[in-house]
Structure 1
Amino acid sequence: MNRWVYLFSEGSKEQRDLLGGKGANLAEMTKLGLPVPTGFTVTTEACLYYLNHGDQLTDEVKNQVMTAVEQLSVKTGKKFGDLNNPLLVSVRSGSKFSMPGMMDTVLNLGLNDQTVAALASNSQNERFAYDCYRRLLQMFGNVVLGLDNSIFESRITALKKENGLSFDNELTADHWKQIVSEYKGIYREELQREFPQDPIEQLYLAIEAVFGSWNNARAKTYRRLHGISDDLGTAVNIQEMVFGNFGETSGTGVVFSRNPSLGDPGLFGEYLINAQGEDVVAGVRTPKPIQVLAEDMPEQFNQLKAICENLETHYQDMQDVEFTIEREKLFILQTRSGKRTSKAALRILLDFFNEGIISEEALVNRIEGKDLEAALHPNFDEAALKRRVSFLSGLAASPGAATGAAYFSADAATEAKARGERVVLVREETSPEDIEGIAISEAVITSRGGMTSHAAVVARGMGICSVVGCERLTVMENENKAMVGDEMIEEGTVLSVDGSSGKVYFGEIPMEEVGHTVALDELHAIWDRHAAIKVRANAETPKDIETGMALGAVGIGLARTEHMFFEKTRLLQFRRLILADSLAERLEVLKELKTVQKQDFKYMYEAAKGRPTTIRLLDPPLHEFLPKNAEECREVAKELGKTFNEVKRKTDNLAEVNPMLGFRGLRLGVAYPEIYQMQAEAIIEAACEVREEQAFSIQPEIMIPFTIDAGEFAHVRQAIEEAIQKNLRHNQTTLDYQIGTMIEIPRACFVADQIAQYADFFSFGTNDLTQMALGLSRDDSPRIVTQYLDVGIFEDDPFQVLDKAGVGALMKLAIERGRKVNPQLKIGVCGEAAAHPKSIDFLYELGIDYISCSPFRIPQAKMTLAKATVENVLS
């Protein structure tokens, strides 16, 4: 016989697959002796069986549920349907991974027309009893029977308006009795049936509803967005009810063991007096900060604080804890790993490490790439922000900054995003149905709700900036507009949202670029202790180099000298060079270019501060520099003092059918050795001058691109060496330098042993090597790659993730052959594919020395490399 049901006392935190995260944690807290209301869990396996076998509970499952109910009755002294001491339970979902708000809950199950009277008598609080009953009718109707929740809420709203009341807790027992009567009428009107009075029938229907909610639209969307499998199923947790709506000595709340936005230690959260849990997250009433509980109920606050600290240490993670206080007695209803912002995630892990809660290896393993990437997002430019005045403010629920056009529904936001707009979702309060709209938005603004409301929790988990609880904001969703005093926000109005300050501005505010965070300063040293492969930056401008160094690069792995000629005046000089008709004319241009190149290299060395610097000699596909049409030819002719016919003739002569396979790389060095000689002289002179001026130890690494043959490479190297040695003799100095090549053509991999006789290092250019090996143009490939991904031919885009079977095999061959001739041959890999997490393990196998990528990819690359080392050691 399969076992479908476990008491909380029978499980543990290790059984997340079977009991779901919530059930496993309830079992674990029960084992720890914490004040957890007793209960049991129906397993995820029971859910999957239910979903795959006709959506009906089997007799075997029902029998095990009834056995657990009987055991629950023994422990509590209460029974379903008992007119003296009725058992009431909550029925909650709980999958392996936390999916806040995505699935369904039913509270106060077990109440009916008879037991509500018993509850009123036992509690001596008629208002409380009928408040619980109306909640059951409302939740059961919505969750189990599919009625629109607004049908129920509209009745409460009308009753409050009729009596001049503002809040639910101002309604009396008679009011709630009236609502109960009206709610039962809704069942008859909408469903042509009565509310089921049998608690067992209620329980079975609720379990089925929770199982069914695994496949609701919002749950499916959430799983897709968060990469959660559809095959896990959800458990159902049936737990004795405890009541936060028992009066002024009762309450309920949600608390984090640390600040989920910033990562600061100490309790962070909210609570409500005389309320049930759904009231806190639904935004129905404005909750109080958890610190106020220390004044209202100091004993319970201190007990809660101690429990949160113990749970955090036990789970080695920040906890999100739901609690209820019933007549001054504290109960813990749930704990789970808390959703947090990316900056908070880094801060919390570092604090855990520094506090001795986790090891350095655990720190390295647990940092997520998405958190690291999100932590580097820019904020508003500080100077520009000071000149602006916000028109709206609320709670800073999820930090960051974003600009977009306002839309008032998830559907409208999604449509606008599809049109290419940046979107800000503006709502009275978000609900789980808004998940798709939230996911595509730059920011979320709500007029209601607190720091633990749906909008706050979901936006924070997704790393989307959010401002909630904007009390001056009146949202008229049906009219697609909102008002802030006399100011109107219409659909399409551009808003700038600062989720760190809680302020909203009209119009667009420029963003600032972020170099690094405090967390990164601490993390770089840790990563460097573990990563066997170093990370350099692809950078040639001082700004890019400084950014790369600030983000942890150990040097420059690829400085593309052709990129230094895209600026207008330099482009003209370079065009003069390639359009020159004689050596004398080229030498005249090269003399001018040497001056600017030398200054470029000096800036580069100064920014690198003595770190390794690899400079690639010119590799210009000529089509990037030649005039594109007759009009451009006329402009260039005028600027260069040539005739239109001269420029047109030369441009036509240099035109290539496939420039990427044409006159580029060291082919330029073979045909015009003076060009590479000029660059080599500039590299060496700049290094010597900076060494003297800055006292840096500099060893330039000169990279010759596009090699296909050892003789070709040796020929060009010799010409470069002659120029360098002549220059050093002239300046009466010496300098250590290396000359290597970029391996980016398949033939070079096959003859790597021959090339290694002359090269000091290899650097693989994965972009070009991929397009050569796969016969896919790096410029025209997206359409083809997309088709191949769609039909399953490719698992990943080979320009984003290294193609191990093809390109990887070529690299492995080249390294083996090259190091057989030169065991000390230094190996680097350039290109974004090298920095992708899926490429790292393979690169470790190759035994390379460094990878080089764009500056903002560096932290993630270092993290991934360190994590791969730790995982290999631990395994």
Structure 2
Amino acid sequence: GQVVFFADEAAKYPKSILVRVETSPEDLEGMHIAKGILTARGGMTSHAAVVARGMGKCCVSGAGAVKINYRARVMNVDGKEIKEGDWISLDGSTGKVYEGKILTKDPEMSGDFAKIMDLAEKYTRMSVRTNADSPNDATIARQFGAKGIGLCRTEHMFFEGERIKAMREMILSTTEKGRRKALDKLLPYQRADFEGILEAMQGYGVTIRLLDPPLHEFVPHEEANQKDMADEMGISLDEVKALVESLHEFNPMLGHRGCRLGNTYPEITEMQARAIIEAAVNLKQRGVKTYPEIMVPLIGNVKEYKLQADIIHETARKVFEEKGTKIDYLVGTMIEVPRATLTADQVAKEAQFFSFGTNDLTQMTLGFSRDDAGKFLDVYIEKGILKNDPFQILDQEGVGQLVKMGVDKGRSVDPELKIGICGEHGGEPSSVMFCDSVGMDYVSCSPFRVPIARVAAAQANIRK
């Protein structure tokens, strides 16, 4: 495709490749439009890689030799200058970037594919779910044989049209009343989103993660957008700038995110829980059977979880009373902070399911930033310090032992506790086999990795 450097210009050419230092949720629309994505920073579990994988889109992430000058709209690769509009080609399998236009062809499915999937179905014990944020993603995964959604990221729903304005209004509000007013605008959007996803995966469990990223990812950082926000909210540009600046964090991945947001601003959790439960009730009234599973992210302490679970259950009770009917639902948690694995027996007394978020668990256990580790991982592998990139293949000796401990401690309290994994390791064969060995009920991965995960799950069961 032809190079573009800004997500909002991805439609500039019929076939474009979006080139960024790194991507953020604000780039989602442009990522949808572009034929491929190239980033200078990142790795297997960076935003660009995870989102592109979910879209089934070609992506090369962490190309350290790429130096981008946004102002001049050029990139430099080892002395070679490539301008906006120049053609490049990407190979997402090898991570190679080629200058110019290379002829490509679409992959074709052979009859053997269906036979292999039938064999996988026959021999597997552990089911395979998908990570999906839209009805389209869910439908694709279901066609590949996914049995449910293991991770629906609600944050990706906030970047379309009027939603981002309401989301920013909520974030920049300085009072609970102001936040609730903005959340009331978001509620119908969220409810409609959840209806679509639950219906697309009807008959199977759908795990919906509550808001996880730090709030600064949603606010406008360019002055023109900040001016629009100021006009929308009836405040000055300087006030908006000050509010945006106040959200800055030195280490946002360990900062004000996940359940910490929900416990600081419980009204966010109330809105999301109401949207999920109302969506399921509405579908029930249309004869659609759904199984929503509400997941609290980033807990390290059972008290963090319980505060959120109490809000969810109370909100559900209110909805059931208002609607005059009930639906079945579960409330559980993402196990991704090392302390949560060490105290999983305490958490299991409250939570109805565990889902291991191995992207963050790997990051926190090894102390590697998943967006920056690409600078030294190749050297570590070359020198034998590491066998593999731990963000691609689960570190079974370290992170894996925490996972096993979490499973064992959780099941010591509740032998029937539903347990799965929703990190990107859920689509990597050796990691899938490890998940089977510790007794997980399912793995979850991006839609286009579902077939590989199904085969690996069957192989794991056969090898026992």
The answer for the alignment partner of 2:11 in structure 1 is: none
Q: Is 1:717 the equivalent of 2:315?
A: no
Q: Unaligned 5+ residue runs, structure 1?
A: 1-376, 379-414, 425-439, 443-490, 499-510
How many residues align? The count is 383
Q: CA deviation at 1:565?
A: 1.2
Supply the AA of the counterpart residue of 2:152: A
- The structure-2 alpha-carbon separation of the partners of 1:734 and 1:423, relative to structure 1 and needing over 3 Å to count, comes to closer
1:720-799 correspondence to structure 2 within 5 Å:
720-799=312-391
Q: Which has the larger radius of gyration?
A: 1
* Contact map agreement 2:430 2:456 (CA 8 A) in 1: no
Deviation per CA, 1:667-703: give whole Å up to 9, x if none. Answer: 111111111111111111111111222x232121000
Amino acid at match of 1:795: K
Per-residue CA distance 1:287-337 (angstroms, 9 max, x = gap) = xxxxxxxxxxxxxxxxxxxxxxxxxxxxxxxxxxxxxxxxxxxxxxxxxxx
**By how many angstroms is 1:831 displaced?**
1.7
Q: Could you tell me whether the CA contact under 8 Å between 1:760 and 1:826 is conserved in 2?
A: yes
CA 787–584 in structure 1, closer or farther in 2 if over 3 Å, else same? same
Pair 1:531 & 2:198 matched: no
Match of 2:29 in 1: none
Name the structure 2 match of 1:570.
Answer: 163
Q: Secondary structure at the residue paired with 1:703?
A: strand
Instruction: Select 1:642's aligned residue among 235, 238, 244.
Output: 235
The 3-state SS of whatever aligns with 1:805 is coil
Identify which of 808, 822, 846 aligns with 2:414. Answer: 822
Deviation at 1:418, TM superposition (A): 13
Aligned twin of 2:451: 859
Distance 1:633 1:612, change over 3 A: same
273, 277, 292: which is aligned to 1:700? Answer: 292
Structure 1 distance, partners of 2:90, 2:246, is: 49
* 2:381 counterpart SS class: helix
SS of equivalent to 2:246? helix
Equivalent of residue 612 in structure 1, options 205, 223, 235: 205
Map of 2:423 onto structure 1: 831
Separation (CA, whole Å) in 2 of partners of 1:572 and 1:788: 44
User: 1:792-834, CA deviations, whole angstroms, 9 ceiling, x for partnerless residues?
Assistant: 1111000000011111111111111111111111101012223
SS at match of 1:794: coil
| Structure 1 residues 819 and 659: CA distance shift in structure 2, 3 A | same
Cα distance in 1 between the residues matched to 2:117 and 2:81: 39
Distance 1:640 1:521, change over 3 A: farther
Partner of 1:843: 435
Structure 1 letter corresponding to 2:381: L
Q: How far apart are 1:634 and its partner, in Å?
A: 2.7
Q: 2:461 aligns with which of 854, 862, 869?
A: 869
In structure 2, do the counterparts of structure 1 residues 793 and 497 end up closer, same or farther at CA, with 3 Å as the change threshold? closer
Cα distance in structure 2, aligned partners of 1:596 and 1:631: 26
| Contact 2:198 2:292 (C-alpha < 8 Å) held by counterparts | no
Give the partner amino acid of 2:198: Y
Structure 1 SS opposite 2:212 = coil
- Residue 193 of structure 1 corresponds to which residue in structure 2? none
Does 2:89 match 1:422? Answer: yes
Q: 1:549 to 1:582 in 2, by over 3 A?
A: same
Give matches, 1:269-280, under 5 Å: none
User: By how many angstroms is 1:441 displaced?
Assistant: 11
Tell me, yes or no, if structure 1 residue 658 matches structure 2 residue 251: yes
In structure 2, the partner of 1:143 is: none
The one-letter amino acid of 1:746's match is P
Give secondary structure in 2 for the equivalent of 1:664: coil
When normalised by structure 2's length, the TM-score is: 0.77
Q: Percent identity?
A: 43
Separation in structure 2 between the aligned mates of residue 803 and residue 632 of structure 1, nearest angstrom: 42
Structure 1: distance between partners of 2:239 and 2:204:
45
Separation in 1 of the partners of 2:157 and 2:380? 36
Which aligned pairs between 1:43-122 and structure 2 lie closer than 5 A? none
- Return the letter of the residue paired with 1:760: Q
- Give how far 1:752 is off: 0.8
Letter of the 1:525 counterpart: D
Shift of 1:629: 4.9
Question: CA 1:616–1:423 in structure 2 vs 1: closer, same or farther (change >3 Å)?
Answer: closer
Mapped to 1, the partners of 2:241 and 2:81 lie a distance apart of 43
Q: Which amino acid aligns with 1:557?
A: G
Question: Given the two structures, how large is their TM-score scaled by the length of structure 1?
Answer: 0.42
Structure 1 pair 677–781 and aligned structure 2 pair: CA distance change class (3 A)? same
Which residue does the alignment assign to 2:191? 598
Structure 1 residues 497 and 578, CA gap change in structure 2 (3 angstroms): closer
Distance in structure 2 (CA, Å) of the matches to 1:517 and 1:649 = 58
CA distance, structure 1, for counterparts of residue 378 and residue 90 of structure 2: 26
What's the Cα RMSD here? 2.9
In the alignment, structure 2 segments of 5+ residues that lack a partner are 1-55, 58-77
**Residues 128-527 of structure 1 correspond to what in structure 2 (within 5 A)?**
421-422=88-89, 494=101, 496=103, 519-527=112-120
